[in-house]
A and B are shown apart, each in its own frame.
Chain A
């Protein structure tokens, strides 16, 4: 499959700004900004050239099937998969807006309690959601469908819609559709939060429940195959690293401004940002407690402490019969820590790709601007060891912010 190019308005504007700022600067008369061999190694590790294809997901036998990705894209855009006919995956993960929205907290058919995460590079993540309560993209994709505040439907409705509207592509990928009852209850699912839906679910024959869940799971695997194609494209930072590695100081100086270069040096050095924002996606994919306050008037969100016990017993985790992986390949679950208390109020480190054009920030969108995030982390330096970086000046925060704008690039995906 050839990923197409989707560039959002915000992204385009970010690029134009960065380019204009870069062109306005004369090359540094002293020549190339000096990077130590250690810094060069880190630069290389952060640049997009270091990003290979997403890892195969052993729990999804269809994750690299272009037909599955194509079906997944259709499902991703289809608002029939919602209680009010107005919500699809794309409602919160807008194509053309880096597969994210601009709201502090996601809004489906109801109010979601956390911010939508961008899907840029989601196919590289071991854990999904802010709290890592899913261990695969397909299991993640299924959760909003049955969430009463997101799509607000159930697997019976998903199976019915797939049978009615996507039978041919479904069967081309997954084989004959299992035999489903002619008339499916509109809202029937096993979770315990809705007693009537659960009662309706238990009223179905075991074979019917199995067949419905099979179709539901395969819909998730198709959506995951599409989401896996969503990848970051080259940003000014990546072009800068290429120029630096090529020893072309003149070209490098036309790509990042002096402020951005100072910010970059802080980012990979004294500010300690690469402690967590490492690799070409600028995230280690793990969970860190950074002391972000909850929204005013709300109780703290427990984050990973809540997500860890959930993923270990999840109906759709890698070690279940719905997964295509043998148990020994379920690395995330097999070696997961079992002590959620140590992860109280920790959240998954998000990618910083295109971060500058997507305020607000943090798990509940409670921080309005990048500058506010940096100021918050400056204050936390003394308390949170992962954030410790000595005293940064206002000018240094401004440089860091300038650097972060250099991470904005076009986002590629199947379209």
Chain B
């Protein structure tokens, strides 16, 4: 389990930005790459710090905001459901996850690590959430917390059955 450093958020942002990440998929490329230090910070023209409430909004597309996503290399299909809905501001809460393979079969025994943060603010999650298996491809993330309004990303590094991949969710805290 690790939380996110500033360069990590940028790397994460870079990896999350293209909506068609799967198109660039190179077979055999390690999915959960070492978290590198980009030479310079990702330029974020979408991050409007103008005179608007909801400051810091980095526009994610409706597709990116969806609660079901493919992992970057389409090895896993992952859906989340916050146990408090809408996702609460500044309160520790839990998420339910379901992980399936490309054939729609539940992925059991996965090791899942939670990473994330606010790309527009250069910081990670305020907590280090923990993931427990509930069986049948269901998992529970405990200790989720978003302490600021605005655009967050949650990245799950998943290792199961000899495969590794990462899925990114975009979450907007209103």
Take A275-B148, A275-B150 as given contacts and tell me if A337 and B53 are in contact as well, using a CB distance cutoff of 8 Å: no
B107 CB to closest chain A CB (Å) equals 24
Does A335 contact B51, Cβ atoms closer than 8 Å? no
Whether A321 sits at the interface, judged by CB under 8 Å, is no
A334 to B6 Cα, complex, angstroms: 23
Which residues of chain A are near B108, meaning CB under 8 Å? none
Q: How far is the CB of A52 from chain B (nearest CB, A)?
A: 12
Cβ contact within 8 Å between A285 and B90: yes
Name the one of A269, A334, A386, A390 contacting B130, with C-beta atoms under 8 angstroms. A334
Cβ A284 vs Cβ B55 within 8 A: no
User: Which B-chain residue is minimally distant from A39 (CB atoms)?
Assistant: B53
Closest Cβ of chain B: how far from A328's Cβ, in Å? 9
Q: In the assembly, what is the distance between CA of A269 and CA of B149, in Å? A: 12
Contact in complex: B126, A338 (CB < 8 Å): no
CB <8 Å contact, A42 and B53: yes
Check if B49 sits within 8 Å of A390, measured CB to CB.
yes
Map CB proximity to B onto A11-51 as digits: 1 under 8 Å, 0 otherwise: 00000000000000000000000001011011001000000
Judged by a CB distance under 8 angstroms, whether A274 is at the interface is yes
Q: Which residues of A contact B89 (CB under 8 A)?
A: 45, 278-279
Query: Count of B residues near A, CB < 8 Å?
Result: 36
Given A272-B55, A278-B149, A284-B147: A338 and B49 within 8 A (CB)? Answer: no
From B146, which residue of chain A is reached at the shortest CB distance? A284
- Determine if A38 and B3 form an interchain contact, defined as CB atoms under 8 angstroms apart: no
Q: Which residues of chain B from 35 to 73 have a CB within 8 Å of any chain A CB?
A: 49-56
Q: Using an 8 Å CB-CB cutoff, how does the interface string of B97-134 with A read, 1 for contact, 0 for none?
A: 00000000000000000000000111111111110000
Which residue in A42, A270, A274, A341 is a CB contact (below 8 Å) of B50? A270
Assess A268 versus B53: contact at CB under 8 Å? Given A41-B174, A342-B124, A386-B123. yes
Cα–Cα, bound, A284→B89 (Å):
9
User: Is residue A286 contacting chain B, with contact meaning CB distance below 8 A?
Assistant: yes
In the complex the two chains form, is A336's CB within 8 Å of B128's CB?
yes
| Contact A335:B147 (CB < 8 A) given known A269-B52, A272-B55, A390-B51 | no
Say whether B24 faces chain A, with CB atoms less than 8 Å apart. Answer: no
Separation of A45 and B49 alpha carbons in the complex (Å): 21
User: When chains A and B are docked, how far (Å) is the Cα of A395 from the Cα of B53?
Assistant: 20
Total interface residues on A, CB under 8 Å, equals 34
Q: Are A284 and B90 in contact (CB under 8 A)?
A: yes
B147 lies within 8 A of A286 (CB)? yes
Q: A275-B149, A331-B143 are in contact. Are A38 and B54 (CB under 8 A)?
A: yes
Distance in angstroms between the alpha carbons of A385 and B174 in the assembled complex: 19
User: What 1/0 flags go to A250-261 for Cβ under 8 Å of B?
Assistant: 000000000000
Are the CB atoms of B128 and A338 closer together than 8 Å?
Answer: yes
Q: Does A145 contact B (CB under 8 A)?
A: no
Is residue B26 within 8 Å, beta carbon to beta carbon, of the partner chain?
Answer: no
A286 with B126, Cβ < 8 A, contacts A275-B150, A385-B120 known: yes
Residues of the B chain whose Cβ atoms lie less than 8 Å from the Cβ of A45: 89
Q: How far is the CA of A286 from the CA of B49 in the complex (A)?
A: 21
B-contact 0/1 string along A329-358, CB 8 Å cutoff: 001001111110110000000000000000
Q: A278-B149, A386-B123 are in contact. Are A38 and B174 (CB under 8 A)?
A: yes
Say how far B119's CB is from chain A's closest CB, in angstroms.
9
The residues of B with any CB-CB pair to A shorter than 8 Å are 1-6, 49-56, 89-90, 92, 120-130, 142-143, 145, 147-150, 174
Report 22 cross-chain contacts, Cβ distance below 8 Å, ordered by A residue.
A38-B54, A39-B53, A41-B174, A272-B56, A275-B149, A275-B150, A278-B90, A279-B89, A286-B147, A335-B92, A335-B128, A335-B129, A335-B142, A335-B143, A336-B128, A337-B127, A339-B2, A342-B123, A385-B122, A386-B148, A388-B49, A390-B49
Q: Residues of A with Cβ closer than 8 Å to B? A: 36, 38-39, 41-42, 45, 266, 268-270, 272, 274-276, 278-279, 284-287, 331, 334-339, 341-342, 385-386, 388-390
> Known contacts A278-B149, A284-B90; can you find 7 more A-B pairs with CB under 8 A?
A275-B150, A276-B148, A284-B147, A337-B127, A338-B1, A338-B128, A342-B5
